[in-house]
Amino acid sequence: MVRPQAVTILDTTLRDGLQIEKTIVPTDTKVALAERLIAAGLRQIEVGSFVNPKKVPQMADTDDLLRRLQPHEDDGVEFFTLVFNRKGAERAAAAGAKNIKLVLSASEGHSRANSDAPIAQATERLLAAADYARDHGIRFDITTAVSFICPFDGITPADRLVEVLRPFVEAGAHGIGIADTIGNANPSLVRTNTSAVLAAFPDHPLGLHLHDTYNFGMANVIAALDLGVASFDSAMGGLGGCPFAPGAAGNIGTDDLVHLLHREGVATGVDVEALAEVRGPLVAAVGHELGSSLSQIPAVPAALAGASR
């Protein structure tokens, strides 16, 4: 495979980055953070999820947040929200969503912890959401959680991953996402499972959602990049984690990801200096320091910053 010359970054700060934070971030603050990310050049942003607010209170304002950010769609910005059932799809449609991500666990143990249902039942729920989205002109992607390793069931076999994805591809999914939910995958496993999905569904855009529990995140980016993957999820400062996956740490940092890709000569469309301006307001919003590598150092030497887009 040939490495892509340019990569699309879906920033998940407002959803995955904030969903396990103890401090509820006000909607006004989320809007301001989103606008800083947009100003830095990010054109795909995950703003929230349509889930039970009692289980994930940080996402209770997703409807309002999406509506307030929609004027930026005129500038080519795409906003995404997560949906786990038909009710969530209905809420997304009511809020004017144009893009949703359906999320299904690739293991039985995580499926029961994350959706209170086995994979077969969760698949039925999500296919109903897919039908609703398609009938209402909403683009939907399918993302599988624990696509490499599950905290309950261990390594996820590549053939299982493909079969979990297949019904949604057949139902009309636009893109596919595979997630290292607990950040425990290594490059060899990323290559194995990612290659299987690419071979099974060659006509569907594939993106990786990586966490960085054991500092394998950037090595896994390189492994996927060498397979031709041209889309990655990340959260500013390495925030985030799954509340239903024991041991899950933060996402790979958007700042670290952009820095790596630029050093590798891969374009992102993101201005690293403008992106750095997001850190201060984000720290103020969550009330603690960030975990990305770049957030730990005063500044990257200008010769190495890769500031060009």
Partnered with residue 145 across adjacent β-strands are 105
Contact yes or no for 256/294 (Cβ under 8 A)? yes
Q: Which residues are known catalytic residues?
A: 242
Structure-token pair, residue 285: 């919003």
Task: Give me Rg for the CA atoms of the chain.
Answer: 18
Find the length of the chain: 309
Give the whole-angstrom CA distance, residue 112 versus residue 128.
19
CA dihedral 290, 83, 151, 162 (to 10 degrees): -120
Return the beta strands (E) in 12-151 as ranges: 44-50, 78-83, 99-105, 139-145, 149-150
**Neighbouring residues of 309: CB distance < 8 A, sequence distance ≥ 6:** 41, 267, 268, 269, 270, 271
Read off φ and ψ for residue 288, nearest 5 degrees.
Answer: -155, 170
- Give me the DSSP letters along 122-183: HHHHHHHHHHHHHHTT-EEEEEEESSSEETTTEEPPHHHHHHHHHHHHHTT-S-EEEEETTS
Of all residues in the chain, what percent are helix, strand and coil, respectively (each to 5)? 45, 20, 40
**Neighbouring residues of 248: CB distance < 8 A, sequence distance ≥ 6:** 151, 181, 182, 183, 211, 213, 241, 242
Give the whole-angstrom CA distance, residue 262 versus residue 271.
10
Give the whole-angstrom CA distance, residue 306 versus residue 309.
8
